[in-house]
Structure 1
């Protein structure tokens, strides 16, 4: 019998992802990473709907010890448990980690069939209901049913699994699924957009036309869906590195007049993001002005799209990015710091602006500024980065930026 006092299980029960990561990475730590408690720890994380702990286990534990497709006493795998509880972030994390959606439960239902059943029947009446952010940052609602927390992500899970199983869900049905949820940050929106944009051949052309036709729809949610599908089709185009995407110019042709006429800030999110990602030079024109848009998400996308113009020493673009380092929104300030990386080395203004961000009230902005300074061989942020030495593990959002700094210093 597994001891409930095992340090790994205790850390999982406490929701302490940092402790879980430390145990799995300890110097002689193959015991925890490969030991008999790993599978039990994974089940505890799934039952707690704890995405951060789950992420640490999936990234750092020995894959053979995870037992992703093992059945519990009810005959259900971890994936089936996550599907049943409507936890889209947990279900997709398990699926991407290798959990087999074809394994069936005691009633003969695989993950797709169970998701379809719960999509059809709904979650039922719960003891209470609240809105939370899941591990992916998406909005979802929770209800307590029979002592268990159940989320309303079943339709998003169904849409994800349909696409992965090769089922082409009609565009109109994907649109209906998304628009049934008023919050565009709900996971069903992302799942429906990816399913629509992920088609091939003539089906993709039909999808493009259907999405473009939504530009003049009276409902802003429909316009949002159309714009986001178009953005994702262009973003995910698999043309060769030296080939121009066949969707890039048509997207800019559509988005330039659209962004001038659109009045709903939510629709402006994918419009701005699409222009920021486009290769057509015309897409850059509205971005400096959009860094002053009232909505912070729009400003963040716009400033992120100015990196190339900053690198080319465009004075309007550089002025816009420098101003955004003082924006009221931390996400915008962080994006501005990243956009300054390739600014001209002979201009002191970018490094001075980054140095000013070292005292920002938000940690993410401070660290991003310090990273960019280090990559520009400016040492003013070194003390902040050195203080992080030994405290950042592989599940930290700072792990890879700090790795870039280390590699840059090694290459000098």
Structure 2
């Protein structure tokens, strides 16, 4: 490649970074653009620093993946990674961190990064901004999304902006360096502020689920008896993520089952008990059916909504007691209890006729979510009675296009002559449905109608 061609590629890379076009950055890097190219309009800083300053985690990730050096020493003595820690965005920090930082960075550099993160977190973002700018404030604060799911406050003062996610950055940095921060200290970080979608909460939860020792687990669940409700809520969230992501650790699965069963027996708050049952059923601990039967007639509908999942296990036939309890729950006054009971019993041949009759009522339920779930189950039900088809037609008025798609699909499966009208009422499907089995079935239906000989 000629020098002119290389410069042209690097120029396009600088433009793509400034535009925040992560896909263009990836393509240009694959074509040979220099991931460490500098921008003369930004004090000759490498383009990775531009992405860090813009809080563009996607672009920063592509640059590091493409070979950008997060440890490159800049004229002011900092590095792109140092700037990522300083900026307070866990998403940007994670994108810039790079491979094996504990082995890659010397002890002095690691300690410098830790000191920076601890200083921001200990002082507080607002106070540190005032110290750096000399402006008295007040600072402007706006809530922003950081990463795919989390949020953090972004503060601006005196021409500087920073995200107040240094608690999360510190937590992730400590784990990257395999520093086992005391669990009590981590939970104190997680619940400040007490929001499950804040970066502090999710960073601590992520870290603790990866510290898979029994000592860590024991230290976390010890907070079950904390007087602060938010600490108990964190314990539940931690256990839920373990159940879903980690599928429990077989070395102490028995202890976790005993812990959750004891918690359920003692819990008096309906919302908390519902979460305990959800976790218990999610991991399918031994004795989950007995737990479900115990709470099948609980006065709080949030608790009863979790019972069907405890009573049913994929691949295991229902016992007579579980079948009877599910049948009762299909007539529950709460629509979501009824729907979940129907869902749990759909594969049971003895329950299927009763469940199908029960689903005909949620199809007219004022609860939109209940109607949507009824549509899915009715569409895929093995029962092909006219009443089911009529209920599906009634669901074509649903506001949710996915529900209308499910109902049209169910009518097509039944060779119902009203399928053509149902397809019209589904409306145009946007991108993302190219390989959807329901959309494919409807396309096949229309093709057969136009080509009866070929069909």
Classify the secondary structure of the residue corresponding to 1:117.
helix
Classify the secondary structure of the residue corresponding to 1:150.
strand
2:141 is the alignment partner of 1:118: no
Classify the secondary structure of the residue corresponding to 1:246.
helix
Q: Offset of 1:253 from its aligned partner?
A: 0.7
TM-score under structure 1 length normalisation: 0.64
- In 1: Cα distance, 2:100 partner to 2:406 partner: 36
2:257 is the alignment partner of 1:249: yes
- In 1: Cα distance, 2:339 partner to 2:235 partner: 22
Q: Offset of 1:91 from its aligned partner?
A: 1.8
Classify the secondary structure of the residue corresponding to 2:254.
coil
Correspondence list, 1:118-267, <5 A: 118-125=120-127, 126=129, 127-204=139-216, 206-207=218-219, 209-212=221-224, 214=225, 217-235=226-244, 236-237=246-247, 239=249, 245-247=253-255, 249-257=257-265, 261-262=268-269, 267=272
- In 2: Cα distance, 1:70 partner to 1:333 partner: 57
- In 2: Cα distance, 1:248 partner to 1:342 partner: 38
- In 2: Cα distance, 1:211 partner to 1:188 partner: 18
Decide which of 280, 283, 286 is 1:278's aligned counterpart.
Answer: 283
Number of residue pairs aligned between Structure 1 and Structure 2? 368
Spell out, residue by residue over 1:259-294, the C-alpha distance to the aligned partner (whole angstroms, 9 max, x if none).
Answer: 6x226x5x578546524523133366669943998x
- In 2: Cα distance, 1:43 partner to 1:138 partner: 23
Q: Offset of 1:14 from its aligned partner?
A: 4.8
- 2:82 matched to which residue of 1? 80
2:168–2:204 CA contact under 8 A, matched in 1: yes
Classify the secondary structure of the residue corresponding to 1:203.
helix
Structure number with larger C-alpha Rg: 2
- In 2: Cα distance, 1:31 partner to 1:237 partner: 40
- In 2: Cα distance, 1:232 partner to 1:290 partner: 20
- 1:63 matched to which residue of 2? 65
- In 1: Cα distance, 2:371 partner to 2:47 partner: 38
- 1:36 matched to which residue of 2? 33
1:138–1:185 CA contact under 8 A, matched in 2: yes
- In 2: Cα distance, 1:221 partner to 1:311 partner: 37
- In 1: Cα distance, 2:212 partner to 2:404 partner: 41
- In 2: Cα distance, 1:309 partner to 1:347 partner: 20
1:351–1:373 CA contact under 8 A, matched in 2: no
TM-score under structure 2 length normalisation: 0.59
Decide which of 92, 95, 112 is 2:94's aligned counterpart.
Answer: 92
- In 2: Cα distance, 1:321 partner to 1:69 partner: 63
- In 2: Cα distance, 1:342 partner to 1:251 partner: 40
Where does the alignment leave 5 or more consecutive residues of structure 1 unmatched? 294-298, 393-397
- In 2: Cα distance, 1:304 partner to 1:35 partner: 55
- In 1: Cα distance, 2:77 partner to 2:390 partner: 60
Spell out, residue by residue over 1:25-73, the C-alpha distance to the aligned partner (whole angstroms, 9 max, x if none).
Answer: 8xxxx4464442766665443322234x448x63xx7933555554554
Q: Offset of 1:79 from its aligned partner?
A: 3.4
Where does the alignment leave 5 or more consecutive residues of structure 2 unmatched? 1-5, 37-45, 130-138, 306-333, 414-418, 445-455
1:139–1:185 CA contact under 8 A, matched in 2: yes
2:360–2:388 CA contact under 8 A, matched in 1: no
- In 1: Cα distance, 2:360 partner to 2:75 partner: 56
Bigger mean CA offset, 281-290 vs 191-200: 281-290
Q: Offset of 1:309 from its aligned partner?
A: 1.5
1:45–1:54 CA contact under 8 A, matched in 2: yes
- 1:366 matched to which residue of 2? 401
